[in-house]
């Protein structure tokens, strides 16, 4: 699972691009997306609590930064 999600993320960020990207997925996919972007090794704990139906925003400015995590509208 982690490898499949990681492969998609690496493909998305392989080429430089500008603008916004919207990714919709289950909370486990969102957590793995964050783990891969932020460099958390597999098998380690992470601080990402992602509620159902929530919004997470990641920005890139000299590296990936979580701007909003698990906001429920």
pLDDT of residue 69: 93
Predicted structure pTM score: 0.80
| pLDDT one-digit tens code per residue, 63-72 | 889 999 999 9
Mean pLDDT of 10-34: 86
**What was the pLDDT predicted at 21?**
82
- Exposed, middle or buried: residue 66 (CB in 10 Å: 0-12, 13-18, 19+)? middle
């Amino acid at each position: 699972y982690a490898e499949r999600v990681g492969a998609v993320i690496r493909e998305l960020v392989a080429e430089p691009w500008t603008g916004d990207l919207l990714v919709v997925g289950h909370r486990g996919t969102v957590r793995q997306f964050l783990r891969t972007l932020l460099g958390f090794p597999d098998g380690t704990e992470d601080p990402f609590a992602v509620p159902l139906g929530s919004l997470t925003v990641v920005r890139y400015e000299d590296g990936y930064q979580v701007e909003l995590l698990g906001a429920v509208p």
